[in-house]
Chain A
Amino acid sequence: MQHPFQCIASVRLPGEATSYDYLVTACGPRLTVVDVAMGEIASRWSTERAASTTSNGDDDEQSERPKKKQKTSTAAPRASNIIKLIVSPDQTHIVTVTDDKLIRVFGVKTGGLLDELSQRCMPKRPCAIQILPDNATIICGDKFGDVYSLPLLPSDSPVVTEQASAGAAESEVSKKEKEAAFKPSATNLTVHTKRNRKALEAQMAQKDFTNKKEPLKFEHKLLLGHVSMLTDVLYATREVERKHRGYIITADRDEHVRISRGPPQSHIIEGYCMGHTHFVSKLCLIPGTDMLVSGGGDDDLYVWDWPTGKLRRKYEIFGAMLGLPYVGDTVMNDGSTQQAATVGDMSDHKVAVSGLCTAPFTNAKGQQETALLVTCERVPALFVIPVNRLQLVKKYEITQIDLDYPPLDITCIGDIVVISLDGRKDGQYRLTANKLVQPNADDKGHVMLKPDEDTEARLKCLVGSAEGVRADDKELDELFYSVANLRKRGGWVTPGEDVAAEDDPVDAEADPNGTEIVEMEDDATVRKA
């Protein structure tokens, strides 16, 4: 068993004669940076160190040790996994998100060295993260639907990270604050209806009447919010009247794609791209056009003219998936699992778009073109659509390229497309490097992957990098395949079963039917306890 790379990203640093390419890989809790030209490991970083230094207090590897202890909780089970990895537009910084809600910023230095600059704990798990073109602002969308902006580099140096466990280990001070803060927001005198009085009584009966959460101790702004789990966030610009306008595009689990103005007017919603009938998991802007592609749980990709919110066309993806192998168990509607064979064999196979990105390629005539690359969870294939095909309203062309294992992430180093694969058995390869080529000029839509053996050989230096990273099937599946869980089961969802509801802002005591135990207002039998 080996741990595949859940995220990969490329960084291009300028040099005197040529530029230097680095591939940053995330393997469980570890970051490994590869010098692509040399085929050597440039640097390593891991949350394992953060965890181990907390438990044994050892000061080994001073230079690479995170500045702050991460958590003070006693049982340190496993190091947190990296779930997002992005690069600033100017290539000088990378930002990671780990599954303990921490956002970390690293400087990327000459030679591919990483310099950990900050870690900030967000109130809710970040689901999507971007660095704006100003190279100074992070925008981050979370599980509860809020989008925050934070400076890439925190203005005040000391970042208090103990907050991560503030809720659990309560200090004397915070206890006092809490007592002082206890001020009933309404009294029996100000509540005049039975309905409100009941609600107040029920809530006062609970011990912690006030907010447990401490305010975030770093600079941040709430830009906008959905009442739904956010799944993707993009920043787009458009030139109107010779001025650049910035937009934030957000997608959620409730089928919405929202277009808001960028900061400082992010409170203004410009429009929505409405039409999805299942969750939206990924968004992709097509460079040089006003086209936005969205995908998720629907059978089709949706191609929008995003400034007007008009749907240009749908592009079917489910049909292209049919007959392909489906890796892993299929969860049936009744909750049981079945060993899958190929997509379409079982009625429960549904689309779960896990990746949308664009990549450059040279067409058969020698011209530069762009292709949209699409991946779906657990399907070992890459779907390729040259973007000029997306514009056509009727024609349907999609190239399906078989991969040996399901793809996990894609990044481009120049025109080399690097794909991370879920090859988790020892010896299986976890990275492939290819070029997109168009063999035949007449066959306009058809594009192929041509292995780039040189690059692939140089990436082999990563083989040992995952040594010792814990990997069991269940944990890997949880880390890699969370998109399909966004699908609503329909009907009344029990909290345990529903990923999005697991730490619902409404109390856990809410019953499985999603209703609270407060009696009907004009029910005469209700009496004050």
Chain B
Amino acid sequence: MAGPPNKRQKREEKHEGQMPQKKFYRQRAHANPFSDHDLTYPEHPSAMRWSEHYPHFVATIPAAVPKDDPIATRDYNEYYVARMEKRVEVADIGCGFGGLLFALAPRMPATLILGLEIRTSVAEFVQDKAKALRLQQQQQPPASAGAETPPVPGGYENVSCIRANTMKFLPNFFAKAQLTKIFLCFPDPHFKARKHKARIVSATLNSEYAFVLAPGGMVYTITDVEDLHVWMVEHLAAHPSFARVAEGEAEGDECVAVMRRETEEGKKVERNGGRKFVAVFRRLEDPAWP
């Protein structure tokens, strides 16, 4: 469902390359992750048209493709999906307005980063912002011609967002062991015990995160709600596929600093002088079969 028509209209009045304004993309704060929203998603990760999201990473060599190539040109259904040079490796689950995404993108310009957000308008905002930032970068005169700001590494070509309910459809987008990092930043707290199944971290969902993460991959969590922090630590640490990364090591990770500083929620908490609780987990190798 798109935003109300008047907002949509205003959104479209902006000309290309102009930064989208949040006020035109507002939506109710919570979407029910158990409802059948009219979501669109590929029936299989290889049917996903990533070329629309990362046009700069479309492969130029359509030569002989190995049959079992995970980045397939044709999926089993025989419809054409452009072959990509890279796969998405970093996912920001519940990315909101995308503060973290746009901060991470220049720091890992060769890595595809994807935000996943259940609220339509908010996801659209992030998509529009990525497009606008890319255009700005493309239109910037080269540094030699006296540009005021240096070009951003990667030109934001490596960042995008999709509307998705990650609690249901993660395996539609990502294959086994595809990701190296998952961010869970300031997830909705769902305070009531009856609502705990709606939390984005749970014993059973953690298995899905483990599935899409490569061994050695990381889950980053941050929240201002201590109770939720304790919950996430309890559930991730108790899951045999994850081990918590020692605090010293976590604090040395640049991603942790970015996550504290650059998420929209992180900024708000900062302004209000609140605390932020961080925990990082590493995806372990699967044990041998019993």
Residues of A within 8 A of B (CB): 144-146, 184-186, 190-196, 198-200, 203-204, 206, 208-213, 222, 224-228, 240, 243, 245, 254-256, 258, 260-261, 264-265, 267-269, 271-272, 274-277, 310-311, 488-493, 498, 500-501, 504-507, 510, 513-523
- Chain B binding surface, main DSSP class: loop
Count residues of B near A (Cβ-Cβ below 8 Å).
Answer: 65
Complex: A510 Cα to B171 Cα, angstroms: 27
Contacting residues, chain A, for B36 (C-beta < 8 A): 488-490, 493, 498, 500-501
Known: A193-B186, A267-B240. A212 touches B207 (CB 8 A): no
Contacting residues, chain B, for A190 (C-beta < 8 A): 224-227, 274-275
Q: B29 touching A195 by the CB < 8 A rule?
A: yes
- Chain A binding surface, main DSSP class: loop
Let me know if B79 is at the binding interface, CB within 8 A. Answer: no
Contacting residues, chain A, for B168 (C-beta < 8 A): 226-228, 254
Q: Tell me the smallest distance from the CB of A196 to a CB of chain B, in Å.
A: 6
7 CB < 8 A contacts A-B = A190-B227, A193-B272, A208-B194, A210-B193, A488-B36, A506-B33, A510-B32
Contacting residues, chain A, for B240 (C-beta < 8 A): 265, 267
Q: B38 touching A491 by the CB < 8 A rule?
A: yes
Let me know if B252 is at the binding interface, CB within 8 A. Answer: no
Q: Tell me the smallest distance from the CB of B262 to a CB of chain A, in Å.
A: 15
Known: A203-B192, A210-B193. A515 touches B30 (CB 8 A): yes
Contacting residues, chain A, for B205 (C-beta < 8 A): 225, 227
Complex: A240 Cα to B198 Cα, angstroms: 38
Task: Indicate which residue in B44, B189, B207, B274 contacts A224 across the interface (CB closer than 8 Å).
Answer: B207
Q: Which residue of B lies closest to A194 (CB)?
A: B268
Let me know if B45 is at the binding interface, CB within 8 A. Answer: yes
Q: A268 touching B241 by the CB < 8 A rule?
A: yes
Q: Which residue of B lies closest to A223 (CB)?
A: B204
Task: Indicate which residue in A254, A261, A510, A519 contacts B169 across the interface (CB closer than 8 Å).
Answer: A254
Q: Which residue of A lies closest to B171 (CB)?
A: A272
Q: A185 touching B191 by the CB < 8 A rule?
A: yes
Q: Which 9 A-B pairs have the closest CB atoms?
A: A192-B274, A225-B204, A211-B193, A514-B35, A185-B227, A514-B32, A269-B211, A274-B44, A516-B30
Q: Which residue of B lies closest to A206 (CB)?
A: B192
Known: A186-B191, A268-B241, A269-B208. A519 touches B34 (CB 8 A): no
Complex: A205 Cα to B76 Cα, angstroms: 52
Known: A200-B189, A265-B289, A492-B38. A515 touches B32 (CB 8 A): yes
Interface centre among A192, A198, A493, A516 (most CB of B within 10 A): A192
Contacting residues, chain B, for A265 (C-beta < 8 A): 240, 287, 289-290
Q: B30 touching A245 by the CB < 8 A rule?
A: no
Q: A222 touching B203 by the CB < 8 A rule?
A: yes
Q: Tell me the smallest distance from the CB of B237 to a CB of chain A, in Å.
A: 13
Let me know if B117 is at the binding interface, CB within 8 A. Answer: no
Q: B44 touching A275 by the CB < 8 A rule?
A: yes
Known: A186-B226, A268-B207, A488-B36. A274 touches B43 (CB 8 A): yes
Q: Which residue of B lies closest to A308 (CB)?
A: B68
Task: Indicate which residue in B76, B195, B204, B211 contacts A146 across the interface (CB closer than 8 Å).
Answer: B204
Q: B1 touching A193 by the CB < 8 A rule?
A: no
Complex: A488 Cα to B272 Cα, angstroms: 43
Q: A269 touching B207 by the CB < 8 A rule?
A: yes
Question: How does the 8 Å CB contact mask read for B11-38 relative to A, with 1 for contact and 0 for none?
Answer: 0000000000010001111111111111
Contacting residues, chain B, for A254 (C-beta < 8 A): 168-169
Q: A501 touching B34 by the CB < 8 A rule?
A: yes
Complex: A260 Cα to B207 Cα, angstroms: 10
Q: Which residue of A lies closest to B1 (CB)?
A: A492
Let me know if B247 is at the binding interface, CB within 8 A. Answer: no
In B237-288, the 8 Å CB interface with A consists of 239-241, 265, 268-269, 272-275, 286-287
Let me know if B107 is at the binding interface, CB within 8 A. Answer: no
Task: Indicate which residue in B27, B35, B176, B290 contacts A501 across the interface (CB closer than 8 Å).
Answer: B35
Let me know if B188 is at the binding interface, CB within 8 A. Answer: yes
Complex: A498 Cα to B32 Cα, angstroms: 14
Contacting residues, chain A, for B1 (C-beta < 8 A): 492, 513
Contacting residues, chain B, for A501 (C-beta < 8 A): 34-36
Task: Indicate which residue in B191, B265, B287 contacts A203 across the interface (CB closer than 8 Å).
Answer: B191
Q: Which residue of B lies closest to A494 (CB)?
A: B35
Q: Which residue of A lies closest to B23 (CB)?
A: A522
Contacting residues, chain B, for A258 (C-beta < 8 A): 171
Q: Tell me the smallest distance from the CB of A99 to a CB of chain B, in Å.
A: 21
Complex: A113 Cα to B31 Cα, angstroms: 52
Known: A212-B194, A224-B207. A267 touches B30 (CB 8 A): no
Complex: A265 Cα to B290 Cα, angstroms: 8
Q: A224 touching B34 by the CB < 8 A rule?
A: no
Contacting residues, chain A, for B22 (C-beta < 8 A): 522
Q: A519 touching B204 by the CB < 8 A rule?
A: no
Complex: A199 Cα to B227 Cα, angstroms: 14
Apart from A212-B194, A256-B171, list 17 A-B contacts with CB within 8 A. A196-B225, A203-B191, A227-B205, A240-B289, A254-B168, A254-B169, A265-B290, A267-B206, A269-B211, A275-B44, A310-B76, A490-B36, A492-B38, A505-B198, A506-B34, A506-B195, A510-B32
Complex: A312 Cα to B208 Cα, angstroms: 25
Let me know if B180 is at the binding interface, CB within 8 A. Answer: no
Q: Tell me the smallest distance from the CB of B264 to a CB of chain A, in Å.
A: 9
Q: Tell me the smallest distance from the CB of A292 to a CB of chain B, in Å.
A: 16
Complex: A510 Cα to B193 Cα, angstroms: 16
Let me know if B218 is at the binding interface, CB within 8 A. Answer: no
Contacting residues, chain A, for B164 (C-beta < 8 A): none
Complex: A518 Cα to B191 Cα, angstroms: 14
In B155-190, the 8 Å CB interface with A consists of 167-169, 171-172, 176, 186, 188-190
Complex: A514 Cα to B198 Cα, angstroms: 13
Task: Indicate which residue in B76, B204, B268 contacts A193 across the interface (CB closer than 8 Å).
Answer: B268
Complex: A500 Cα to B33 Cα, angstroms: 13
Let me know if B87 is at the binding interface, CB within 8 A. Answer: no
Q: A264 touching B290 by the CB < 8 A rule?
A: yes
Contacting residues, chain A, for B32 (C-beta < 8 A): 504, 506, 510, 514-516
Q: Which residue of B lies closest to A514 (CB)?
A: B35
Q: Which residue of B lies closest to A273 (CB)?
A: B44
Q: A193 touching B192 by the CB < 8 A rule?
A: no
Complex: A513 Cα to B268 Cα, angstroms: 28
Let me know if B210 is at the binding interface, CB within 8 A. Answer: yes
Complex: A267 Cα to B275 Cα, angstroms: 33
Known: A192-B272, A265-B289. A209 touches B44 (CB 8 A): no
Complex: A515 Cα to B1 Cα, angstroms: 12
Q: B26 touching A523 by the CB < 8 A rule?
A: yes
Interface centre among A193, A225, A492, A505 (most CB of B within 10 A): A193
